[in-house]
Amino acid sequence: MNAVADAPDAAEHEALLQFLYMAPVGLVQAGSDGAILMLNPLSAQLLMPLSADGNLLNLFEALAPVAPDLRQRCAGYSAPSGNVCEGMRLYLNGARGGPQVLSLTLLKLDAARLMAVLSDITEQDKRERQLRNTDAWLNAIMTNIADYALVSLDQDGRVAAWNDSIGRVTGFDEAGVRGQPFGLFYPADDASAAQQAHRLQQANLNGWHLDEGLRRRADGSQFWGSAMLSPLPGRKRDDGTLAPAAPGEPAYCLILRDITDKRALSENLRSATYGDHLTGLANRRAFFEAGELELLRRAKMPQAPVLILIDADHFKAINDSHGHPAGDAVLRHLGATLKSMFRQVDTVARIGGEEFAAILPGASLADAAIVAERLRERVQAGPAMVGDTAIAYTISIGVAAMDDPACTLAGFLQRADDALYAAKRGGRNRVVCWPAEGESQA
């Protein structure tokens, strides 16, 4: 070779060496018998832990602990050139999930030469394993947790993909579900196109939409369920907007869950927190919360609510002559009478030992006084039966309109209590409205 021709060769050679040195993958050139002809620093680094004596002389021998059949593979590869193996995973230190994972691609360059490309894919392998675990985990959830159901919906909220869990929770079969709007799982009065569109829109805006309520099974029966709706993650563009999905393709994920048990639990919790254990009415805490709420609402209502305080007369004497448990039975009797006399919208509570209160929204003082008088008559007319014993008792009632914008709930209670006190003083078994005659206004 002459000097003019030699110069570019030397430069190319230098560039090649530099490439081999810097390459982010391990490169090994070997003969067809595996004898290593050349290897770059990274491949030496990757192969070194496999070598028993630190001498990297033969590729097949170096890789024997993790790829014992490599020599046979090459021998059996009859094409003049091509990939003997591609992306073969080599798990160093034996076990899968060990500290290091290599990927090996072995190229047959020609009859005499092989080129191995090695790269460290430990992190990638770990991520893939995590994904597989997550997949298996999700699958296990969907298959084993009986009260969850997963379904994917298309752009318009129609069921795009069937999942067995849907059948299990709702009783629908694939033919009955695929292509149907997801309102199918809701009772008719909650399943309009507009209601569905609203749910999808909320999911688009917030990233998810969750609602709890009655859900419908294939046989028309209902259960208490939650529905979590969210756009599929793949649709999110870099700018945060959602890419439209192709017609019929999954665009949303809907997770339905039967939470009948959970609801019963929270109802129990609710009644433990807000219910009176003896009478089943609201308790003092519930009464005060409802009272404050009524005061907030009062401004927007044409009619202020009315507060009624009810107290059993001479209750101590009942306890003394019949015993405390009989007294309890009388209180239960009074509670049941109250429950039967007031409307659904009224708050009726036991706020003390033998003291009860009711808030009547949208009632005038005169109407409330009539209701109170009827209640008094009813209690007087019907004794409480405790076993075989009829225990007659009466009640006194104070009534106050909650119509003074400057007055607080405590203030209204004081007014009703003043009226109640007047009823007691006046001889009991009577109804008095605030301001009572002869009482000064608070």
Determine, following the binding rule CB under 6 A, whether residue 324 of this chain makes contact with ligand GTP.
yes
Determine, following the binding rule CB under 6 A, whether residue 353 of this chain makes contact with ligand GTP.
yes
Segment near ligand GTP (CB under 6 A); pick from 148-156, 225-233, 321-329, 410-418: 321-329
Determine, following the binding rule CB under 6 A, whether residue 322 of this chain makes contact with ligand GTP.
no
**Residue 261 CB neighbour total at 10 angstroms:** 10
Task: Give the shortest CB-311-to-ligand GTP separation in angstroms.
Answer: 5
In the bound state with ligand GTP, the residue whose beta carbon lies nearer, of 83 and 321, is: 321
Give bridge partners of residue 114 from the DSSP assignment. Answer: 30, 108
Task: Give the shortest CB-171-to-ligand GTP separation in angstroms.
Answer: 48
Using Cβ positions, the residue closest to ligand GTP within the complex turns out to be 353
Alpha-carbon gap, residue 349 to 359, rounded angstroms = 9
SS3 for 175?
helix
Determine, following the binding rule CB under 6 A, whether residue 332 of this chain makes contact with ligand GTP.
no
Cα–Cα distances (Å) from 78 to 83, 105, 268, 281, in that order, read 11, 17, 75, 88
Task: Give the shortest CB-208-to-ligand GTP separation in angstroms.
Answer: 47
83-118 per-residue burial string, b: 16 or more CB within 10 A, e: under 16: ebbeebebbbeeeeeeeebbbbbbbbeeeeebbbbb
Determine, following the binding rule CB under 6 A, whether residue 101 of this chain makes contact with ligand GTP.
no
**Residue 3 CB neighbour total at 10 angstroms:** 6
Determine, following the binding rule CB under 6 A, whether residue 335 of this chain makes contact with ligand GTP.
no
Determine, following the binding rule CB under 6 A, whether residue 315 of this chain makes contact with ligand GTP.
yes
Task: Give the shortest CB-197-to-ligand GTP separation in angstroms.
Answer: 53
- What string marks each residue from 26 to 65 as x (binds ligand GTP by CB under 6 A) or -? ----------------------------------------
Alpha-carbon gap, residue 98 to 191, rounded angstroms = 53
Determine, following the binding rule CB under 6 A, whether residue 431 of this chain makes contact with ligand GTP.
no
Determine, following the binding rule CB under 6 A, whether residue 316 of this chain makes contact with ligand GTP.
yes
Among 50, 67, 312, 409, binds ligand GTP (CB under 6 A): 312
Contacts of 249 (CB under 8 A, 6+ apart): 154, 155, 160
Determine, following the binding rule CB under 6 A, whether residue 395 of this chain makes contact with ligand GTP.
no
DSSP string, 231-258: E-GGGB-TTSPBPPPPTTS--EEEEEEE
- Asked if 101 and 122 touch (Cβ cutoff 8 Å), the reply is yes
Alpha-carbon gap, residue 40 to 37, rounded angstroms = 11
Determine, following the binding rule CB under 6 A, whether residue 398 of this chain makes contact with ligand GTP.
no
Site of interaction with ligand GTP (CB under 6 A)? 311-316, 319, 324, 327-328, 331, 353-354, 424, 428
